[in-house]
């Protein structure tokens, strides 16, 4: 359990409103956890804090023994797929992959290899030569997920990853996330679509008024 | 998509968990260059268009710039005809016409009656006529001037008349000074047994000959306070400052557009905050090069500047000051539209108080005091000095032009390095 994600008494106030209130939970390594809740419940705030985009007001967070406060080390552990697609829609999918691989400092040979591998990835292989502008919402989401998976992060943080995705895209993405879980990756998904979370996640935490009044365990956590 | 080797050097992170973020210097450099190329790629069409536009503008403007430094062209600009009216037909009038007839920018010097001179002025043949009082020579000898020389300028040629008036003002002081100097010569002439009338004639002739030698030198006219030239260099300083600052507004746009966006978050988590800010500064600097470099080259080739270094440094200082300031403004926690409005307001306030639109010397005293403490004032003064002194600027004004960089850099650093506490 020490290798997983541990959140203790996490607190965050935004513009005078307490969005997260002494939030605590533990997520074991190699599991998919879902955070559900209505709009404004604090799901995105939680994900952004865990992604080190926002600074918490209080509490402790650690993953694999690395605290959130050790920002550089923390960031080398995580993959973040934000709520928006957050990719340049002028670029082709192939160029997008090359760009984000280069931003990660990968040398040209590694980038080429990575892009070649990605070209065969069922998530994006159908539209690698399309610009993101030409892609559907689901295609863009799938591309965003692939970019988030670069570097094979130990902890993957996904904020509304299925938003705008059709059933086929959702199915492909869920399949990939299950595969990652089976390889020992920890995945935390924030979404307001409870059905999808119930189908995919080992455990769904329902966020309400900044804390978890209810926890639904879908399957035994390994 | 497994992480490659270098990522595993992250201290304290278990090898099997480490993901790929740039750690080693080469990785960081590669990451930064990718972001910079990305920022630049969004601007390359604009850069090319501006470059082509400026090429055309400079092809058209170059002759004008050149004429400001070309002596022959200056003579062509200052090409006047004047009349001297000496109804008493005195020695002074004839002598004056004789000594100034070889001055290159005096096309014709007529020795006219008042009627003839008026006709020439009416027909725009001359720009000025001067009437000498009948007893001018006697007045000069006695040192008691009762009636002065009257000058009549052509009202239909205002620009030429203004230039000539500036020259006359210079020559008036020169004549006065020279006449005092040769006064001693007249007394010595008499002591040596010379005739008094002849001594005055010789003295006057000597004074006018000396003055004529000044008339024939263009430097005398060029170094003076020619209003056209001052206006031209002030306008040029303003244009260069304006063009140097404009790329800073690009920094504002890029910063504000991406501020707190998911795309920026994604980049920051991978590459960090500083490379993003530096990339924006360098993209702005590329714009600066395209906007400013053609001007500097044109000014150098035209001979307005003998050295480019001080001018270049001043203009880079203006850009950096603006870019740092806009990095700070661009990260303000406000709507993008409001941020732009504030950015433009600051831009215009700095230009106004810096004296870019209107010389600060013409401001009311309280406004002059305020403007001297604003960041654009010192660079504009230094730049004006550079343009009027062939590109050379004394150390004091030069250093003063750099003072705004440090405080704005501090602001930019604080705003860029600060992690977000709110959405």
Best residue in B1, B28, B268, B271 for a mutation probing chain A (most A CBs within 10 Å): B1
Would you state the pLDDT for residue B403? 93
Structural domain for B154, as ranges: 80-222
pLDDT at B225 over 60: no
In terms of domains, do B256 and B374 share one? yes
Note whether B361 contacts A: Cβ–Cβ < 8 A.
no
Query: Largest Cα–Cα distance of chain A, in whole Å?
Result: 50
Is the Cβ–Cβ distance between B351 and B249 less than 8 Å?
Answer: no
The CATH number given to whatever domain includes residue B105 is 3.40.1710
Do B174 and B240 lie in one domain? The reply is no
- Mark yes or no for CB contact B263/A88 under 8 Å: yes
When pLDDT is averaged across residues A167-174 and rounded to a whole number, the result is 92
B76 vs A183 pLDDT, higher one: A183
Same domain, B115 and B259: no
Provide the percentage of residues in chain A whose pLDDT is more than 70.
Answer: 95
Residue-level pLDDT at B412: 92
- Cα of A77 to nearest chain B Cα, Å: 5
* Partner-chain residue, chosen from A55, A88, A104, that has the shortest CB–CB distance to B421: A55
How close B25 comes to chain A (CA, Å)? 9
Residue B340 falls inside a structural domain: yes
Residue recorded with tokens 């990575």: A114
- pLDDT band per the 50, 70, 90 thresholds, residue B1: very low
pLDDT at position B14: 47
Provide the percentage of residues in chain B whose pLDDT is more than 90. 27
Are A64 and B263 in contact (CB < 8 Å)? no
pLDDT of residue B160: 73
Q: Is A77 on the interface with B (CB under 8 A)?
A: yes
User: Is A87's pLDDT higher than 80?
Assistant: yes
Flag whether pLDDT at A135 surpasses 80: yes
| Same domain as B311, residue B332 | yes
pLDDT of B342 > 80? The answer is yes
pLDDT for A103: 92
Residues B148 and B166 in one domain: yes
Among candidate residues B201, B222, B243, the one where a domain is terminated: B222
For residue A155, report the phi and psi dihedrals to the nearest 5 degrees: -125, 120
Beta-carbon separation of A88 and B7 below 8 A: no
Question: How much is the pLDDT for A216?
Answer: 63
Of the partner residues A52, A64, A76, the one whose CB lies closest to the CB of residue B7: A76
Whether B286 maps to a domain, the answer reads yes
Distance CA B321, CA B284 (A): 12
For residues B241 and B351, membership in a common domain is answered with yes
Closest CA to B347 of B249, B240, B236, B239: B249
User: What letters, b where the CB count within 10 A reaches 16 and e where it falls short, cover B254-284?
Assistant: bbbebbeebebbbbbbbbbeebbbebbbbbb
What's the N-to-C CA distance of chain A in angstroms? 10
What is the average pLDDT score of chain A? 88
Rounded alpha-carbon distances, angstroms, from residue A64 to A32, A79, B20? 16, 14, 17
B20 and A150 within 8 Å at the Cβ level: the answer is yes
Residue A72 has pLDDT above 60, yes or no: yes
pLDDT of residue B232: 80
Q: Which residues pair with B162 in a beta bridge?
A: none
Instruction: Round the average pLDDT of chain B to a whole number and report it.
Output: 79
Q: Among residues A87, A81, A83, which one has the least CA distance to residue A99?
A: A87
Give per-residue pLDDT as tens, A12-46: 998 888 889 889 999 999 999 999 988 888 899 99
Token pair recorded at residue B239: 């244009």
Q: Which residue of B has its CA nearest to A86?
A: B263
Q: Which domains does chain A have, with CATH numbers?
A: 5-217 (3.40.50.300)
Question: Worst-scoring range by mean pLDDT, A147-151, B211-215, B280-284, B294-298?
Answer: B211-215
Domain membership flag for residue B6: no
Question: Quick one: B2 exposed, middle or buried, by C-beta within 10 A (0-12, 13-18, 19+)?
Answer: exposed
The answer to whether A105 contacts B20, with C-beta atoms less than 8 Å apart, is yes
Instruction: Note whether B265 contacts A80, CB cutoff 8 Å.
Output: yes
Q: Say if the ipTM goes beyond 0.90.
A: no
Mean pLDDT of B195-224: 63
Domain match, B96 and B241 both: no
Which own/partner contact pairs does A192-201 have at CB distance under 8 Å and 24+ positions apart?
Answer: A192/A36, A192/A37, A192/A38, A192/A39, A192/A43, A192/A160, A193/A162, A194/A36, A196/A162, A196/A170, A197/A34, A197/A36, A198/A34, A199/A174, A200/A32, A200/A34, A200/A174, A201/A32, A201/A33, A201/A34
- Residue B12 located in a structural domain: no
* Residue B5 is assigned to a structural domain of this protein: no
Structural domain ending residue among the three candidates B222, B249, B277: B222
Give every CB contact of residue B24 below 8 A, 6+ residues apart in sequence: A105, B6, B9
Q: B237-264, pLDDT tens digit by residue?
A: 999 999 999 999 999 998 998 888 899 9
Instruction: Please tell me the predicted confidence (pLDDT) of residue B323.
Output: 96
The Cα–Cα gap between A11 and A210 comes to 8
pLDDT of residue B313: 95
pTM: 0.71
Looking at the fold, whether B209 and B276 belong to one and the same domain comes out as no
- Average pLDDT for B327-342: 88
Polymer length of chain A: 222
Residue A215 reports pLDDT greater than 70:
no
Residues B69-107: pLDDT tens digits? 655 444 455 677 888 888 877 777 777 777 777 777 778
**Model pLDDT, residue B97:** 77
Is residue B19 classed as helix, strand or coil in its secondary structure? coil
Statement to judge: residues B241 and B274 lie in one domain:
yes
Query: What are B266-310's pLDDT values in tens digits?
Result: 999 999 889 999 999 999 999 999 999 888 988 888 888 888 999
Distance between CA atoms of residues A175 and A55, nearest Å: 32
Strand, helix or coil at B328?
helix
The mean-pLDDT minimum among B39-53, B177-191, B237-251, B283-297 falls in B177-191
- Asked if A154 lies within 8 A of B27 by C-beta distance, the reply is no
Inter-chain CB proximity B423 and A99 less than 8 Å: no
Average pLDDT of span B405-423: 79
Assess whether B207 and B235 both reside in one domain.
Answer: no
Confidence of residue B153 (pLDDT cuts 50, 70, 90): confident
Residue B45 contacts A, CB cutoff 8 Å: no
Q: Is the pLDDT of residue B210 over 90?
A: no
Please check whether residues B334 and B190 belong to one and the same domain. Answer: no
Structural domain tally of chain B? 2
Residue A156 clears pLDDT 60, i.e. is over it: yes
B158, B189, B222 — which closes off a domain? B222
Of A14, A82, A153, the CB nearest to B423: A14
- pLDDT bucket at A208, cuts 50 / 70 / 90: confident
Minimal Cβ distance to B1: which of A52, A80, A117: A117
Q: Are residues B247 and B376 in the same domain?
A: yes
Whether B18 is in a domain gets the answer: no
Does residue B136 sit within a domain? Answer: yes
Q: What is the CA radius of gyration of chain B?
A: 32
> For residue B74, is it within any domain?
no
Q: Comparing C-alpha atoms, which of B222, B219, B214, B225 is closest to residue B102? A: B214
- Contact assessment for residue B275 and residue B363, using Cβ atoms and an 8 Å cutoff: no
* pLDDT at residue B201 in the model: 75
| A164-192: average pLDDT | 92
For residues A109 and A7, give the distance between their C-alpha atoms in angstroms, rounded to a whole number.
Answer: 39
């Amino acid at each position: 359990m020490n290798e997983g994600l541990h959140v203790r008494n996490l607190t965050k106030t935004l513009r005078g409103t307490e969005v997260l209130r002494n939030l605590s939970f533990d997520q074991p390594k190699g599991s998919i956890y879902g955070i559900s809740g209505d709009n404004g419940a604090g799901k995105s705030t939680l994900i952004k804090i865990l992604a080190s985009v926002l600074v918490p007001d209080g509490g402790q967070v650690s993953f694999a023994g690395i605290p959130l406060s050790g920002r550089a080390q923390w960031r080398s552990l995580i993959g973040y797929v934000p709520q928006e697609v957050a990719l340049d829609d002028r670029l082709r999918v192939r160029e997008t992959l090359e760009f984000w691989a280069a931003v990660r400092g990968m040398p040209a040979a590694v980038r080429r290899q990575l892009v070649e591998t990605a070209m065969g990835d069922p998530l994006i292989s159908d539209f690698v030569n399309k610009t993101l502008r030409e892609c559907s919402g689901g295609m863009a989401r799938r591309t965003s997920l692939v970019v988030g998976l670069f570097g094979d992060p130990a902890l993957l943080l996904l904020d509304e990853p299925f938003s705008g995705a059709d059933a086929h895209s959702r199915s492909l993405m869920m399949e990939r996330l299950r595969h990652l879980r089976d390889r020992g990756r920890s995945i935390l998904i924030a979404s307001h679509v409870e059905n999808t979370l119930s189908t995919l996640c080992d455990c769904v935490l329902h966020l309400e008024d900044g804390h978890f009044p209810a926890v639904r365990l879908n399957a035994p956590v390994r | 998509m497994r992480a490659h080797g270098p990522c595993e050097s992250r201290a304290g992170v278990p090898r099997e968990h480490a993901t790929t973020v740039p750690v080693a210097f080469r990785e960081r450099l590669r990451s930064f260059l990718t972001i910079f190329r990305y920022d630049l790629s969004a601007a390359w069409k604009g850069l090319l268009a501006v470059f082509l536009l400026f090429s055309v503008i400079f092809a058209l403007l170059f002759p004008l710039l050149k004429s400001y430094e070309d002596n022959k062209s200056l003579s062509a600009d200052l090409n006047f005809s004047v009349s001297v009216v000496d109804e008493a037909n005195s020695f002074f009038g004839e002598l004056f016409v004789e000594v100034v007839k070889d001055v290159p920018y005096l096309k014709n010097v007529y020795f006219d009656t008042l009627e003839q001179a008026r006709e020439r002025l009416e027909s725009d043949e001359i720009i000025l006529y001067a009437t000498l009082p009948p007893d001018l020579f006697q007045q000069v000898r006695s040192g008691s001037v009762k009636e002065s020389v009257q000058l009549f300028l052509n009202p239909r040629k205002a620009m030429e008349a203004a230039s000539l008036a500036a020259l006359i003002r210079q020559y008036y002081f020169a004549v006065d000074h020279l006449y005092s100097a040769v006064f001693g010569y007249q007394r010595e002439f008499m002591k040596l047994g010379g005739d008094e009338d002849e001594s005055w004639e010789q003295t006057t002739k000597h004074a006018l000959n000396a003055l004529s030698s000044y008339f024939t030198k263009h430097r005398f006219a060029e170094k003076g306070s020619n209003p056209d030239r001052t206006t031209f260099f002030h306008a040029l300083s303003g244009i260069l400052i304006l063009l140097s600052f404009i790329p800073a507004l690009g920094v504002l746009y890029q910063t504000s557009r991406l501020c707190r966006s998911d795309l920026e978050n994604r980049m920051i988590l991978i590459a960090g905050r500083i490379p993003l800010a530096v990339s924006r500064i360098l993209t702005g600097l590329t714009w600066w090069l395209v906007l400013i470099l053609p001007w500097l080259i044109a000014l150098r080739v035209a001979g307005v500047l003998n050295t480019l270094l001080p001018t270049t440094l001043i203009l880079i200082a203006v850009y950096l000051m603006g870019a740092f300031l806009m990095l700070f403004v661009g990260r303000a926690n406000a709507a993008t539209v409001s941020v732009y409005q504030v950015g433009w307001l600051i831009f215009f306030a700095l230009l106004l108080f810096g004296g870019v639109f209107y010389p600060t010397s013409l401001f009311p005293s309280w406004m002059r005091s305020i403007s001297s403490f604003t960041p654009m004032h010192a660079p504009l003064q230094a730049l004006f000095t550079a343009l009027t002194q062939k590109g050379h600027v004394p150390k004091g004004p030069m250093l003063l032009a750099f003072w705004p960089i440090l405080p704005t850099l501090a602001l930019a650093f604080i705003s860029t390095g600060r992690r977000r506490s709110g959405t």
